[in-house]
Amino acid sequence: MSESQQPYRVLARKYRPQRFADLIGQDAMVQTLANAIARERLAHAFLLTGVRGVGKTSTARLIAKALNCVGPDGQGGPTIDPCGVCEPCRAIAEGRHIDVIEIDAASHNGVDDVREISEAVRYAAVSARYKIYIIDEVHMLSKAAFNAVLKTLEEPPAHVKFLLATTEVQKIPVTVLSRCQRFDLKRIPAEKLADHFARVVEAEQVEAEPEALQLIARAAEGSARDGLSILDQAIAHGGPVVSADQVRDMLGLSDRGAVRRLFGLLLAGDAPGVLGALRDQYDLGVEPSTVFIGLLEAVHGVTRAKAGGGQDPALSMEEREAHADWAGRLGFATLHRLWQLLLKGHAEVQAAALPIEAAEMALLRVVHASTMPDPGELARRLVNGEVTAVPAQAAPPEAAPADAPAPMLARPTPPADFPALVEVVNARRPLLGQQLHDFVGLVRYAPPELVVRPTGPLPAEFARDLGALLRSIYEMRWDVSIADGPAEPSLLDKQKSAENAARDAILATPVVKAAFEAFAEAELVDYTPPEPGFAARSA
């Protein structure tokens, strides 16, 4: 049969890895296997785990080829780079090798199926170096089947290797896990998938926009097989070029530009604009839950940009610039609140009998929440005295005449001296008050101006925080600055000086002096500083 008459093979099968070098994103596993083969330290059982489509079964077949390859000349041994041309390699690739047995545990999950394996392992391989059992979706075996295979799995004959593959490793008994060498196949990054798809479309002589391949890679969620299936569908969808718009229409994805516009309307609190933009997407066939996924991705991208976590290379330049702009204008508290509101909205839309109505209500909730103060900020302002809670009154006060002027509240007056100001600050913010008392020397106190010199360690935000607190207390702008040069001792130093002076006064009294002269080893402890004039009265 000529090549043109051969039945069409889908891309997921046509481009299945035939060498370890073709595996995408599994470098650590390949390196471990290469070292094990080179040092002849091969385990008797391997467990391959990972999400669907990352290459578990393909890896198992590659391991079978690596262990049974004899090279083009028929004299080769186990190798991490099987030749692909010898009879064992070709037979394994085509699924017809008599000594490489593939078993689907979903349909052969009983004790009898496992018993057949236990009986067959006693016989040597017919033509290969190793008899290899590839058991796919091994977690589907029954509990009795697992128990029946334990002994065989732990001590198989030297000519037998077991390769187990599963997507749900948590369902496998620990007794089985402990008997296998485990490899966790990673999700394939979107950028690597996009590069792989670019090579595929080039080999297929098909043109595709880079953005279209990035959309397919993102939709594949780390699965090469899923991505190739989507790419196959996109090529068959029609058109000389696989375009991004075509892929969005095919997958029902929201236009990312439309998502950015909707996100901007949410931040602006434009309720009519938000409802209109959502309806536009809905009329184009985009599911409401997909719109929420796009908004969640936008919040995540902005938060990553703000945290310095780097940008997704699959994002367009417009998206990166938009994320950087929003990251500079939005705080972490706002972004986290947006994430929680959108996540809750997404769950409501998925469970709602009326998805579009639920989406509108959820987005309106986000709009109205954007105009409310952040609870944490409001609590901080209450604690700092920047706002005052108004208690509810039991009865309304007597109505004042309409032309009566509004009562004016007297503005609090700053203290007359610096120590009194420290007492006020200490009552509101004890930590700030202690720093002002212990580690600051006064240069100038002329409310609303305060100039100090540090005498000890102070946080970088000390002047800013103190100025904000004084402004909230006295309802005026304070100029708090740090300066070098002559300054009074700190209040702590003054306090210590006063205590030392009082102690010296006590030691100078005749009675105490006589006591120290009579008792050479005496010392003054646990004394109370005297009242003013105590030394004079004692004299």
Same-domain check for residues 14 and 156? yes
Q: Which residue has the higher pLDDT, 398 or 311?
A: 311
Same-domain check for residues 180 and 38? yes
3-state secondary structure of 135: strand
Is residue 291 assigned to a domain?
yes
| Helices and strands, number each (H, E), in the chain | 24, 10
Same-domain check for residues 140 and 274? no
- pLDDT for 267 beyond 90: no
Q: Domain range holding 232?
A: 190-251
Of the residues 162, 184, 206, which one is the last residue of a structural domain?
Answer: 184
Cis bond before residue 448 (omega within 30° of 0): yes
If one counts the domains in the chain, the total is: 5
Q: Residues 137, 139, 144, CA angle at the centre, nearest 5°? A: 125
User: Which whole number is the average pLDDT over 378-403?
Assistant: 51
Tokens of 175: 């007794």
- pLDDT for 165 beyond 90: yes
Is residue 302 assigned to a domain?
yes
Same-domain check for residues 276 and 342? yes
* H helix runs in 392-490, sequence order: 418-428, 430-438, 462-474
DSSP β-ladder status, 100-104 and 207-208 = unpaired
Q: Which residue has the higher pLDDT, 132 or 245?
A: 132
Same-domain check for residues 335 and 464? no
Same-domain check for residues 232 and 152? no
Same-domain check for residues 13 and 146? yes
What CATH code is carried by the domain that includes residue 69? 3.40.50.300
Q: Cα separation of 186 and 193, whole Å? A: 13
Is residue 289 assigned to a domain?
yes
Same-domain check for residues 178 and 65? yes
Same-domain check for residues 320 and 223? no
pLDDT, tens digit, 9 for 90 and up, residues 462-514:
888 898 888 888 878 888 888 887 889 999 889 888 888 888 888 788 877 77
What CATH code is carried by the domain that includes residue 242? 1.10.8.60
User: Which whole number is the average pLDDT over 284-306?
Assistant: 88
DSSP β-ladder status, 440-446 and 449-454 = antiparallel
CB count, 10 Å around CB of 527?
A: 12
3-state secondary structure of 457: coil
Is residue 406 assigned to a domain?
no
Is residue 284 assigned to a domain?
yes
Q: Cα separation of 270 and 284, whole Å? A: 21
Q: Give pTM, 2 decimals.
A: 0.56
Confidence of residue 10 (pLDDT cuts 50, 70, 90): confident
Same-domain check for residues 80 and 211? no
What CATH code is carried by the domain that includes residue 337? 1.20.272.10
Of the residues 201, 222, 251, which one is the last residue of a structural domain?
Answer: 251
Is residue 411 assigned to a domain?
no
Same-domain check for residues 169 and 30? yes
- The sign of the torsion formed by the CA atoms of 475, 477, 483, 487 equals negative
Is residue 458 assigned to a domain?
yes
Same-domain check for residues 477 and 355? no
Q: Which residue has the higher pLDDT, 525 or 289?
A: 289
Tell me which of 174-183, 224-233, 396-405, 451-460 is least confident. Answer: 396-405
Is residue 257 assigned to a domain?
no
